[in-house]
Amino acid sequence: MVSSSGSSEKSATSKDVLLDFLAGGTVAPLERVKLLLQTQDVNHKIAQGKKYKGFGDCFVRCIREEGTISLWRGNWANVIRYFPTQALNFAFKERYQKIFANYNPKSDPYKFFFGNLLAGGMAGATGLLFVYPLDFARTRLGVDIGKSVNERQFRGMNDCMAKIYKADGIRGLYRGFSISVAGIFVYRAFYFGGYDAGKKFMFGDNPNPSILYRFLFAQFITSSSEFLAYPLDTIRRRLMMQSGRGDIIYRGTVDCARKIAVTEGLTAFFKGNLSNMYRSVGSSLVLVLYDEFKRWLLLAGQSSYAK
């Protein structure tokens, strides 16, 4: 019985990671557009030339100036990052749920809700510690402008990490980590915690609510989570851009936030957010399909045990 349960959990994790991996590859062009819009004011090649006017202009110019394949630039680091990130997130989430959210949703609804928020945030923050250099490399490669390799700053993921490490040491690869932890905590807290706790309130004891209702609910949770965490994401991307550079624009997280607000306005914190709205559809599907696989594996395990 224990063996069957262990096997089911491993199958659920591997299937979920595969789903998220596929979703990540599909929306990679949207992610690159988002990164370019977020960082163009501190990207020398863009700031000194013609800036992107918005999502559509950036998308079209990437294809016209750098080729269609450029929309996936930096995605290899993202591919490598996805597997351990999602595996760690879901593994830590369930572990933290046992610690912080071990309450009955009916008798202790508030403790259950906030316990799930805390568990989700802790899971995301813990996982980030292991994969941050890959996230850093994905960002720097994604905003590296140039049609040919000779026109760009980095030749690939290894070259990027090696050059930054040589210039700034391990600190350079972890620049922006503290605000990233805050951002991922906010995002994962509402993404995982809000979904797990919210579905109890929305669907009650219904073991099999409509997939459409669950998808719409997951879409609301995902969009809300990304909106709340997006300003923090913009700050961390800006800080990442300083590694390996001689000129320092921001002295830290607070200074970065202040300068963005003063020189660019509050809307600058949400540059590229439109692509996140499109990407959230894939994230919502991951949440719903993850639940479906868990339910299917549970039923399969019960059927096997009955035999």
Contact status, residue 276 vs residue 258, Cβ threshold 8 Å: no
Q: What is the pLDDT of residues 39-92, one digit of tens each?
A: 999 998 887 788 999 999 999 999 999 999 999 999 989 888 877 887 887 788
Per-residue confidence (pLDDT) for residue 67, from 0 to 100: 95
> Which residue type occupies 104?
N
Confidence band of 11 (pLDDT split at 50, 70, 90): very low
In the structure, how many helices (H) and strands (E) does the chain have? 13, 0
Confidence band of 297 (pLDDT split at 50, 70, 90): confident
Per-residue confidence (pLDDT) for residue 232, from 0 to 100: 96
The token pair that represents 237 in the structure block: 């991307």
Separation CA 89–CA 265 (nearest Å): 34
pLDDT of 271 above 80: yes
Q: What is the pLDDT of residues 149-172, one digit of tens each?
A: 999 999 999 999 999 999 999 999
Q: Which three-class secondary structure state does DSSP give residue 249?
A: coil
Per-residue confidence (pLDDT) for residue 160, from 0 to 100: 97
- Return the domain boundaries, the chain: 2-26+75-130+164-306
> Which residue type occupies 231?
P
Confidence band of 23 (pLDDT split at 50, 70, 90): low
- Tell me which of 14-28, 72-86, 101-115, 259-273 is least confident: 14-28
Q: What is the pLDDT of residues 93-126, one digit of tens each?
A: 888 988 888 888 788 888 888 888 788 778 888 8
Separation CA 164–CA 245 (nearest Å): 9
Confidence band of 258 (pLDDT split at 50, 70, 90): very high
CATH number of this structure's domain 2-26+75-130+164-306, picked from the four choices 2.40.30.10, 3.40.50.300, 1.50.40.10, 2.40.110.10: 1.50.40.10
68/281: higher pLDDT: 68
Confidence band of 8 (pLDDT split at 50, 70, 90): very low
Per-residue confidence (pLDDT) for residue 306, from 0 to 100: 52
Separation CA 280–CA 275 (nearest Å): 9
pLDDT of 21 above 60: no
- For residue 43, which phi and psi values (nearest 5 degrees)? -95, 110
Please choose, from the candidates 69, 30, 37, the residue with its C-alpha nearest in 3D space to the C-alpha of residue 148: 69
Q: What is the pLDDT of residues 220-244, one digit of tens each?
A: 887 888 888 999 999 999 999 999 9
Per the prediction, the chain carries an average pLDDT of 83
Separation CA 260–CA 269 (nearest Å): 7
